[in-house]
Structure 1
Amino acid sequence: MRMLQGLVLAFFSCLAHSNAYAISIVYQGFECLSAVNTEDPAPNNGTPVQSRFEVIEESGDGIYRLNLTGGIPRFVSNDRTVCIDKATAIGYSGIPEVDGLPQPLDAIDATGYFDGEELIIVTSSLYTDLSARRNPFSSFTTSFIFPFTNTLIFKFNSTTSSFRLKKVVRNRGFVHTSGSTNSITPFFETVLPSFNKEAQDKPVILTPLSTIEYKLEK
């Protein structure tokens, strides 16, 4: 078993250094019916999608730069239902001079660590509801911005050459500004590093009841 684990490590490293090949781990599922409600794992069974992490660079000491497309599995405690969340897991990006409004992304960078037995992947994304507006009497409000961080912990299965998802540590923050240029206090800023179900709570640690297995592909 240790020999196979070593071969997988070498395989990751070799393919990451090659311009001709790429290695990925892939999970097949269905897009989430509710794009933004992370507490709703109901799938849209008419929209199949792949969650794919592709190795783009080997950085040494078991650390890999990855590219995520499709999204990541969404599930909640005490429920076997699973969907693939793209809206919040991949999110938005934008520079006003270049993009105008922020645009939904098709892919984001991720970072992975693989020791031959466990694979840990961390992703970070930003979701916006694009609700910024200026109201009468010089009042204004920005969009509601939600930073997301997901840490996925996998166990390598040497028999099937696959990675089973064991845990997800999910955290959602919150950033919002409102105010009025006619007010003594023109800005009201809310910045919360953690706002999953209520303000200033803790990151959510989730264990899937269903088997979520990523297959190794090249």
Structure 2
Amino acid sequence: MGKRANRKKTGARDYQSYLLIGGKGQGKSTLLIDLVEEYLKSFQNSYCKGIYPRAFIHDMSSSRAFRHLPTVEQACQQLGLDLEDPLELLTLKDSSGNPVWKKGALRYVCRKSREIQHMHEMLAAHFRNGMVVFDEWTTYVRANPPDWQIDIVNNHRNYGLEVFYVCHQIMRVPLFFIRGDMIAKIILFKTGERELEYRQFRRYSCAEQLWEAYQRVLKAPATDNWVQYHEIIDV
């Protein structure tokens, strides 16, 4: 493992974190692909030294929506790198001191707890000024999380990271995450969980706004679109 990366100046860009909640078949992954592409394109007019249009996706379930993207392992092969640990790609610099991986979106498929911990630690130590998607995040995050699970949660702005935390149910989001200044916005789809009551939303700092959005989302009819009706709530 290489040395820990330093913070880079990110200009006026405001790196935020988002909580994306929705059940299966609602189009979460399709929406994320659109957001990734939009994010990468946003650098066309704001590129500066030290900022690279990159997105890293933890593809927990090998989602069909992400399969057109190269994996980290495939990127290493394309770059002619024979690495025992493909995540070492995050640490590599070229002769000018710039990252070897300079642009585009990569996905990393892993489910084992040790692999997930290693991925979080490598991202926190070496990935700067980019976008990160943690798919199905609540399947492994703990109510009292160890440091490696909350490093990026707490420090994403210092690292210059725009982060999406994705889960299936409103009630599965851990309390530590929703009671502090952890997220900027919630993107809410239908969740598939049993119908909730207002009292169950009081755990959220934006309880009233989230409850009202939840009711509208619940009543929205299904469509033939890949991405179903959803609302964005400021936290």
**TM tier, smaller:** under 0.3
- TM-score (norm: length of structure 2): 0.22
Higher helix share: 2
Higher strand share: 1
User: Greater Rg, structure 1 or structure 2?
Assistant: 1
Greater length-normalized contact order (CA 8 Å, ≥ 6 residues apart): 2
